[in-house]
A and B are shown apart, each in its own frame.
Chain A
Amino acid sequence: MKKALAILLLIILFGFQSMHTFGIQRFPKPEFESGYTQPQTLMPSPRAEILAYMDVAVLLLALSFISWLVLKKRSRNGVFWTSVFSLAYFGFYREGCVCSIGSIQNVTLAMFDGSYAIPLSVIAFFLIPLVFTLFFGRTFCAGICPFGAMQDLVSFSPQKLGSRLNAILGLIPYLYLGLAMLYAATGTDFIICRYDPFVGIFRMNASFGMYVFAGTLLVSGIFIARPYCRFLCPYGVILNWFSRFSRRHITITPANCIQCRLCENSCPYDAIDIPVTEKNPDSRQMRVRKLIIISILVPFLTVAAGWTGSKLSEPLAGVNSKMKLAKQVLNPVIDPNTPETFEITAFKSAGKSSGQVYEEATLVLHRFYTGSWILGGFIGLVFSLLIAGRMLKKYNPDYVPNKGNCFSCVRCVDYCPVEKS
């Protein structure tokens, strides 16, 4: 009875939300005869503050629940049904916003732009999964993130990609993270939201191109498990780092591994580390030499990549609206048959001088120059550390989940014949 009352209460609460949404849809966006098209909105309708905090509470509860399911109950079914709930709540009901992945940009913008007031709920969505990851591994990815949940649902026939392809494709999220932070820090755009393949499905309002992108990801997700999470997700990069230091991470076996190898191919994400008991075949002298080379190469590669990045600052800045306007003011169209661009029309009515536009664009360019140095340096550092990391000593006698890459989905647990002692 109590359970039924609680469900009823929740339905009433959600009902209020729907009324709010309908209220906005009563008035469609105006259509312009000039050919101007309304830009795609990146965020759903505003939400009452109290309800934003309710979302944070739901996130906290869901994360606690799934962490308990993963670590204590070791229940794949529990994780699956939690992910269905998350897909319904954070995905279709909350329309994918606020999402922890996109919150990277809000946090970055808040760090670089003092005038940007970041909502507390956004900070919570950014930090809470990180804190949980630090303690329990990537339980957020297991079944709370609606993007992961959606891909997990369609992962019917996952194939192994091979370590080379995994290693190369696994570099893309670092690039995406760097670019997203650069564009957010310069106030240019929130590219994670703009090119988010799944929110369009949640909101049923994506452009045709984004539907195709999302469809491609989901169809490929039948054979390549969670392609977005593994080869695109920028938040996954940060979660990966945090998870490596997680205090309590899921284990495949609840007791001692008997090396039966049943779990060896159970992970659709190639996130199980096989036992390594053999020593590095390289001689000690060779390993020392390699380490010396790497210790020189890391700073060198970082600076070289930073310099390369700085050379890209102008093309990267090209998408900034202030840069676009400055270019148009700098090279105005004089052909009377060519219609004036919307940017120029807006500029004229905004009361700014061309000098101010150039000044602002110069500032943007300067920021991009610095940002591109950092972006390049970051990418260089990631590459060199990945190469260096592969030279380190490695010893693990059992089959264990790779703490960084494991999504804590609990699939492998079902394959282990060992009972808890």
Chain B
Amino acid sequence: MKKFLILSDKTLRLIQSIAFASGVFAFVLCILISVNYFQLKRADPLNSPAMKSLVERMNTNPDDQQVKLEIRELDLLSRKAFFTNRWQIKTGGYLLVFNVLILIICLKSIELLKAKLPEIPGSKMDDFWDKRKINQVWVAYAGISLVSVSLVFAFLTHNQLGPELKRAGLAGQNIGSNQQTKLPGNVPSAADTTLKNISGKGANDSAQSASTNLTEGYPTQQEINSNFPSFRGPGGNGIAYQKNIPTSWDGKSGKNIKWKTAVPLPGYNSPVFWSDRIFLTGANETKREVFCFDALSGKILWKTAVEKIPGSPAQVPKVNRETGFSAPTVATDGRRVYAVFANGDLVALDWNGNKVWAKNLGLPKNHYGHSSSLIMYQDMVIVQYDQSGDASVMALKGKTGNLLWKTSRDVKISWSSPILVNTGKRQELMLVAEPFVISYNPSTGKELWRIDCISGEVGPSLAYSDGIVFSVNEYSKLAAIQVGDTPKQLWENNDFMSDIPSPVATKQYLFLPTSYGTMVCYDAKSGTKFWEKDFGSPTYASPILADGKVFIMDKKGTMHIFKPDKTYSVLGQPQLGEGSVCTPAFAEGRIFIRGDKNLYCIGK
């Protein structure tokens, strides 16, 4: 039986006092350590306002020794404070452990000293069988609750990742079995081979250097953004990321015109730019060609005839005069260039213009002529093929042309092009055709969401910014749609509409061009119209937002440059000297414009 110690009240009181003191001290230490911890967490000594202001002062006056000295002193002070804080937490931690130890010893002693004799519990013992039954029921309740919560959670979070990975993995398996794929990061950056870096070299030299630098895989987003790889730029969203773009030139006098080269065959497709090259296509009833221009000199580096394609129809496609036989713009991933024509011929050419693969997608049932441009996603080339009765979107492997996925679309024929955007949550491929705007997973082709919001023969492509996608078509409406698994139309307007050019959006504003030459600016969130401007000439080209300005070319060849703002503020209206219906491409400090007959390079 337990031995119970009896000690004097004085000893007990002493131990109780020590316990109380150490308890209070431990509590205070806990508070102090917590406060110190949060101070340390908040502290960012190298980015303090005082340091920032000193650094700014040094940047404006780099030779100011006094500022440098002050920065060093402040830096040392901040670091000292930071590390003292850390030391305080660590030392406080040890003190706390020591203190808690004393507290425990005291409390254990009190427990021992004040031990009571055991008492016999109440006379009636709980009924064992009743208790057991109740426990059984509670365990069953717990089990049912667990299963219910698990099922709800499972169905809320189940996102079919497995099938998505499998479909996306098709590309990976092909890569894995065919070659050791280099990663995006191993690919030479476009920034390393910008125009100025290759200045002085001949076209052949640059062609050689570019081709030897190419590796497999697909480009990084940084590389894509430093080029202009498809219709309306990276992601096809009408935004270019280059700077120092000229705002004045004159085609007639040659001011700021670096070069101009005649394009051998007609076409309404727009130029794309990658590293040191410009790509275009041209076609007539009998010939289809892809052209590669040296971005520096304008010299045609190669032109490749697209002919003898297996399955290519002998029948000449019916096209509208304003669409032509080569309306779709090419796309490139910096390894190959991909082109599609009105008869359904799809071709991939290497950097030297050699055919890598080609196939015919079937003569499109399209009364104006096929005009949807291509777009790249990772190592896939994506084709929007909205023909009568058999609309689809498909992804082919860039290297081999193998079909990776194909998704049928229950929409009418369309002439718009796909856009590729990151919604913050995921990458989405968005397409528009009567009656839907539909978003797909670009890796798998799986539909993510759709919204019924458009009608008619849709020509303009979508514009996206800050979670809102904008669709528009003549005789239909302009609609702003909040994207997501359950998309919602935020606002609509039918005062101004477009049947050819596409809009472009910033976080605050939407700029809508109409084919009859009026530019309208709306509040992107509410649809409030800020201004409208009649350019006095029809506009078929789409606007591009670049270098903090909006560039839009009218049919007569005047580039309208204005500030993306709630008031119309013109920054320039330079003339090309010939008409143009194509959207320009942008490089660092340069613009490439396809006129009716010539390709122009404009630069300071």
8 interchain pairs (CB within 8 A)? A263-B118, A266-B118, A311-B154, A353-B172, A353-B183, A384-B143, A387-B143, A390-B136
Query: Roughly how many angstroms separate A351 CA and B176 CA in the complex, as a whole number?
Result: 12
A336-B1 CB under 8 A given contacts A156-B107, A348-B185: no
Query: Closest chain B residue to A355 by CB distance?
Result: B172
**Chain A residues closer than 8 Å to B426, beta-carbon distance:** 331
Cβ of B162 and Cβ of A314 under 8 Å apart? Answer: yes
A312 in contact (CB, < 8 A): yes
Give A152 Cβ to nearest chain B Cβ, in Å.
Answer: 11
Per-position binary interface string of chain B over residues 173-185, scored 1 when its CB falls under 8 Å from any chain A CB and 0 otherwise: 1111000111111
The stretch that binds A, out of B124-132, B266-274, B568-576, is B124-132
Query: Roughly how many angstroms separate A388 CA and B205 CA in the complex, as a whole number?
Result: 82
Per-position binary interface string of chain A over residues 345-383, scored 1 when its CB falls under 8 Å from any chain B CB and 0 otherwise: 101111111111111011001100100000010011001
A274 in contact (CB, < 8 A): yes
Give A397 Cβ to nearest chain B Cβ, in Å.
Answer: 13
Query: Closest chain B residue to A153 by CB distance?
Result: B104
Per-position binary interface string of chain B over residues 224-254, scored 1 when its CB falls under 8 Å from any chain A CB and 0 otherwise: 1100000000110000010000000000000
Cβ contact of A262, chosen from B90, B120, B183, B234, cutoff 8 A: B120
Give B174 Cβ to nearest chain A Cβ, in Å.
Answer: 7
The stretch that binds A, out of B144-152, B320-328, B338-346, B355-363, is B144-152
Query: Roughly how many angstroms separate A348 CA and B172 CA in the complex, as a whole number?
Result: 15
A311-B139 CB under 8 A given contacts A331-B426, A335-B422, A353-B181: no
B77 in contact (CB, < 8 A): no
**Chain B residues closer than 8 Å to A204, beta-carbon distance:** 90, 93-94, 97
**Chain A residues closer than 8 Å to B140, beta-carbon distance:** 383, 387
B158 in contact (CB, < 8 A): yes
Cβ of A357 and Cβ of B172 under 8 Å apart? Answer: yes
**Chain B residues closer than 8 Å to A201, beta-carbon distance:** 97
Query: Roughly how many angstroms separate A417 CA and B413 CA in the complex, as a whole number?
Result: 95
Cβ of A163 and Cβ of B143 under 8 Å apart? Answer: no
A32 in contact (CB, < 8 A): no
Query: Closest chain A residue to B161 by CB distance?
Result: A314
Of all A-B residue pairs in the complex, the 6 with the closest CB atoms, nearest first, are: A355-B172, A348-B185, A311-B154, A414-B2, A358-B169, A353-B181
The stretch that binds B, out of A12-20, A179-187, A276-284, is A276-284
A354-B172 CB under 8 A given contacts A312-B153, A315-B154: yes
**Chain B residues closer than 8 Å to A345, beta-carbon distance:** 185
Give residues of chain A (292-343) contacting chain B, Cβ–Cβ below 8 Å. Answer: 301, 304-305, 308-309, 311-312, 314-315, 323, 326-327, 330-336, 338
Query: Roughly how many angstroms separate A301 CA and B129 CA in the complex, as a whole number?
Result: 24
A73 in contact (CB, < 8 A): no
Cβ contact of B125, chosen from A167, A274, A301, cutoff 8 A: A274
Cβ of A359 and Cβ of B176 under 8 Å apart? Answer: yes
A176 in contact (CB, < 8 A): no
A362-B185 CB under 8 A given contacts A278-B128, A308-B147, A315-B153: no
Query: Roughly how many angstroms separate A357 CA and B125 CA in the complex, as a whole number?
Result: 63
**Chain B residues closer than 8 Å to A384, beta-carbon distance:** 143
Cβ of A349 and Cβ of B185 under 8 Å apart? Answer: yes
Cβ of A333 and Cβ of B422 under 8 Å apart? Answer: yes
What bracket does the count of chain B residues touching chain A fall in? 35 or more
**Chain B residues closer than 8 Å to A330, beta-carbon distance:** 164-165, 168, 427, 441, 443
Per-position binary interface string of chain A over residues 381-421, scored 1 when its CB falls under 8 Å from any chain B CB and 0 otherwise: 00110110011001000000000000000000011110000
Candidate in A167, A349, A365, A414 with the most chain B CB atoms within 10 angstroms: A167
Spell out B's residues near A (CB within 8 Å): 1-2, 30, 34, 37, 41, 90, 93-94, 97, 104, 107-108, 111, 118-121, 125-126, 128-129, 131-136, 138-140, 142-143, 146-147, 150-151, 153-155, 157-159, 161-162, 164-166, 168-169, 171-176, 180-186, 217, 220-222, 224-225, 234-235, 241, 378-379, 420-422, 424-427, 441, 443
How many A-B contacts are there with CB distance less than 8 Å?
Answer: 202
Candidate in B126, B138, B165 with the most chain A CB atoms within 10 angstroms: B165
Query: Roughly how many angstroms separate A278 CA and B130 CA in the complex, as a whole number?
Result: 12
Query: Roughly how many angstroms separate A92 CA and B154 CA in the complex, as a whole number?
Result: 41
Query: Roughly how many angstroms separate A52 CA and B97 CA in the complex, as a whole number?
Result: 27
Cβ of B120 and Cβ of A365 under 8 Å apart? Answer: no
Give A157 Cβ to nearest chain B Cβ, in Å.
Answer: 9
Cβ of A278 and Cβ of B129 under 8 Å apart? Answer: yes
Cβ of A331 and Cβ of B427 under 8 Å apart? Answer: yes
A264 in contact (CB, < 8 A): yes
Interface residues of A, CB < 8 Å — how many?
79
Cβ of B128 and Cβ of A276 under 8 Å apart? Answer: yes
Query: Closest chain A residue to B181 by CB distance?
Result: A353
Query: Roughly how many angstroms separate A345 CA and B183 CA in the complex, as a whole number?
Result: 10
A260 in contact (CB, < 8 A): yes
Give B140 Cβ to nearest chain A Cβ, in Å.
Answer: 6
Cβ of B139 and Cβ of A386 under 8 Å apart? Answer: yes
**Chain A residues closer than 8 Å to B41, beta-carbon distance:** 208
**Chain A residues closer than 8 Å to B173, beta-carbon distance:** 355, 359
Query: Roughly how many angstroms separate A47 CA and B100 CA in the complex, as a whole number?
Result: 29
**Chain A residues closer than 8 Å to B146, beta-carbon distance:** 175, 379, 383
Give B273 Cβ to nearest chain A Cβ, in Å.
Answer: 17
**Chain B residues closer than 8 Å to A354, beta-carbon distance:** 168, 171-172, 175, 181, 378-379
Knowing that A311-B154, A330-B427, A390-B133 are A-B contacts, what are 18 other residue pairs whose CB atoms are under 8 Å apart, sorted by A's residue number?
A153-B108, A164-B134, A164-B135, A274-B125, A278-B129, A308-B150, A311-B158, A331-B443, A332-B221, A334-B427, A347-B183, A352-B183, A353-B217, A354-B171, A356-B176, A379-B146, A394-B128, A415-B118
Give B131 Cβ to nearest chain A Cβ, in Å.
Answer: 5
**Chain A residues closer than 8 Å to B119, beta-carbon distance:** 265
Query: Roughly how many angstroms separate A308 CA and B155 CA in the complex, as a whole number?
Result: 10
Query: Roughly how many angstroms separate A200 CA and B138 CA in the complex, as a whole number?
Result: 35
Cβ of B37 and Cβ of A348 under 8 Å apart? Answer: no
A355-B104 CB under 8 A given contacts A333-B221, A336-B221, A415-B2: no
Cβ of B121 and Cβ of A265 under 8 Å apart? Answer: yes
Cβ of B172 and Cβ of A383 under 8 Å apart? Answer: no
Give A331 Cβ to nearest chain B Cβ, in Å.
Answer: 4
Give A385 Cβ to nearest chain B Cβ, in Å.
Answer: 10
A168 in contact (CB, < 8 A): yes
Query: Closest chain A residue to B239 by CB distance?
Result: A336
Cβ of A355 and Cβ of B165 under 8 Å apart? Answer: no
A210 in contact (CB, < 8 A): no
Cβ of B161 and Cβ of A336 under 8 Å apart? Answer: no
Query: Roughly how many angstroms separate A352 CA and B128 CA in the complex, as a whole number?
Result: 63
A261 in contact (CB, < 8 A): yes
A334-B128 CB under 8 A given contacts A208-B37, A347-B183: no
A261-B128 CB under 8 A given contacts A308-B150, A311-B151, A359-B176: no
Cβ contact of A362, chosen from B159, B165, B186, cutoff 8 A: B165
Query: Closest chain B residue to A166 by CB distance?
Result: B135
Give B84 Cβ to nearest chain A Cβ, in Å.
Answer: 16
